[in-house]
Amino acid sequence: MGNEVVIGIDLGGTNIVIGIFNRHGELLGRHTSHTGVDGSSFTVINNMVDGMQKCLQKHSLVLSDLVGVAVGSPGFLNRKEGMIYLAPNLKWRDFPLQKVLEERLECPVILENDANAAIYGEFRKGCAREFSSAIGFTLGTGIGGGIVIENRLVHGCFDMAGELGHMTLDPQGPLCGCGNHGCLEAFASASGVKKYLQEQYPHYKDSLIYSLVDDNLDKVSPVDVYQAALQNDSFAVSVFQRVGKYLGIAAANIINIFNPPVVFFNGGMTNAGDYIMNPLLAESQQRTITASYEKTTIRFGELGSDAGLMGIGALAVEAFFC
């Protein structure tokens, strides 16, 4: 009984981050493995299991000490069936991840969407831990999100709830990777910003943004925008104002629909700080019912890249120990 633990796995396209948690939700240890998507589906599984064994061994534990495992996976999934319907970064389609892992580990396994896990991490351990409900956006290559109402993640009828990056903000806006036009993701994700920078190059060739990458548009990124903004490059500042504006519109929509106590944003884009937060707050205030806006806290996350691991660990503890 004293050695009983759960494992939470943040499964990404590049790395697998594994954490061991006790029944109190304390992180006892962690291990990072390469995902191995260049091989077969079972190469990824083998790397997951090998990483778990190494992590357990470092803490004098074995697989039989495992009460259960929770996996935060990218892509579209069915938690009840334990299936990954589509995860392009992992090259998975209709993959029975839960069943495969349970047969290898001989313990129960649960699945969760990786964005939901990251939002839940901030909810339980990070910037929203003092609230019973929260709605969060994950800002990365794309934009995901998660909705927590009275301490429970909202999954929707088919585990598709929380796709906040695909709310339409402008029907005539830029093309999104999902095929729609004008999604939040097309405006405010890292990939959306990169595309915008490439489109604007002919008009702003003298911006520091482009000199930082020697005019190589394939290499330009939000990191370069931030470095240029720190040097008071006016175009760089305007790029972040544009991102903040659209995030503010999205936040206003969420506040008007859900009336949550807190809306938060995590992910790499938040490193831009006030360059994004100031226009975000101004836009959301302008577009939100005043009484609702005044009762809502808007903030950035605290956990950074650890949000997914802490969230999937919390879900594992709640599923197997509570």
Mean pLDDT of the chain: 96
Residue 1 has pLDDT above 60, yes or no: no
Residue 313 has pLDDT above 70, yes or no: yes
The pLDDT score that the predictor gives to residue 37 is 84
Q: What is the mean pLDDT of residues 129-149?
A: 97
Residue 122 has pLDDT above 60, yes or no: yes
The pLDDT score that the predictor gives to residue 321 is 97
Please tell me the distance from the alpha carbon of residue 220 to that of residue 178, in angstroms, as a whole number.
22
- DSSP assignment string, 240-308: HHHHHHHHHHHHHHHHHHH--SEEEEEEGGGGGTHHHHHHHHHHHHHHS-HHHHHT-EEEE-SSGGGHH
The pLDDT score that the predictor gives to residue 38 is 85
Residue 161 has pLDDT above 80, yes or no: yes
The pLDDT score that the predictor gives to residue 181 is 98
Contact of 123 with 162, CB cutoff 8 Å: no
DSSP state of 181: B
Residue 241 has pLDDT above 80, yes or no: yes
Answer left, alpha or beta for residue 320, where phi above 0 means left and psi between -120 and 50 means alpha.
alpha
The pLDDT score that the predictor gives to residue 40 is 83
Q: What is the mean pLDDT of residues 64-82?
A: 95
Separate counts of helices (H) and strands (E) for the chain: 11, 13
Structural domains in the chain? Answer: 5-119+306-321 (3.30.420.40), 130-301 (3.30.420.40)
Contact of 162 with 144, CB cutoff 8 Å: yes
Residue 3 has pLDDT above 90, yes or no: no
Cα 195 to the chain's mean position, in Å? 20
The pLDDT score that the predictor gives to residue 2 is 63
For the stretch 292-302, pLDDT in tens is 999 999 999 99
Residue 240 has pLDDT above 70, yes or no: yes
At 9, the amino acid letter reads I
Q: Label residue 89 by pLDDT band (50, 70, 90).
A: confident
Percent of the chain whose predicted confidence (pLDDT) is above 70? 99
103 CB neighbour count, 10 Å cutoff:
11
The pLDDT score that the predictor gives to residue 137 is 98
